[in-house]
Amino acid sequence: MDESTLFEIGSISKTITVALAAYAAETGALRWDAAPGRYITELKASALDRVSLLNLATHTTGGMPLQLSDDVKIDADLIAYFRKWTPPSPPGSVRTYANPSIGLLGLVTARAMKGQFAVLVREHVTRPLGLQRTFHDVPKAEQPHYAQGYTRDGKPVRVSMAPLATEAYGLRTTARDLLRFVEAQLGLIDVSPTLQRALSATQVGRFLAGPMTQALIWEWYPLPVSDDDLAVGNGDAMVLKPTPVTRLDPPRAPPADSLVTKTGATNGFGAYVAFIPGRKIGLVLMANRNHPTAVRLTLAKQVFTALNVQGIPAQ
């Protein structure tokens, strides 16, 4: 493996999806307080009328499930699925980590911008940021660089591109590109003012969920942060169970001394991104095996310790 190796990054893909949505908001193509049906008219007069695009971007839909149901086999099934769905809790009251919600945000953004999602990402996010080897569909010429992934018990596997995979967890990229994306989040590369505002907007906290502040997909913790808080914020319960939230009014940008993070995994890959805005420092971890989140966190803390970063528990 080397700097040209392509890795699946799983849910870190969501940070790219929400960057496109934030760009659309900055250009007036969509509004965060609008319901999905404003842009996908087939979803009007459904329970989603009570759900805002902000809810989709913050996992606060009221209980959208982690995955689509098994009867959603093709893209054509999606509209019927979303029309039938009803939130078990009031939108904005609980955080439930979900692929369908960010996937729907991707569909809404594409409809609002009158384009095809992957093309819009390339035109307005990855290409302007100089992410030259970040792909939803790996080109034939890049296939030799695509790492083989392995499950936790060592079986070879690669991601299956099911409905909403492109929008929710389907990106493949290199360590160099992902680190450049972190540099863009830190304001260290030259991008258009509109795109930079969009990236900054994705980091703004909207809800408190336990020890973690939920921004637009990104999650952050004021420093110093304890081992216990990181464990809770990245634990199975935070992914698999509803977590009560408190809305931040007004929304809150991450403090200069805060840890902004996102985990990502597929069946055969594991990844982690973290950065500290005020210190202009960040890291990316990428592996072609689905190591548990706790293992990735431990390694990240070891790296930060080696870099003499204060406020993050040493291992």
Active-site positions?
A: 11, 97
Give me the residue label for tokens 């953004």: 109
Residues 6+ apart with CB under 8 A from 23: 124, 125, 194, 195, 198
Cα distance between residue 107 and residue 92, in whole Å: 21
Give all strands (DSSP E) within the chain, no chain letters: 7-8, 94-95, 149-150, 156-157, 172-173, 205-209, 212-214, 219-222, 243-244, 246-252, 258-266, 269-276, 281-287
Closest C-alpha to 51, from 79, 88, 20, 10: 88
Cα distance between residue 257 and residue 221, in whole Å: 9
Closest C-alpha to 220, from 212, 229, 209: 212
Closest C-alpha to 159, from 137, 127, 139: 137
Residue 101 and residue 64 in contact, taking contact as beta carbons nearer than 8 Å: yes
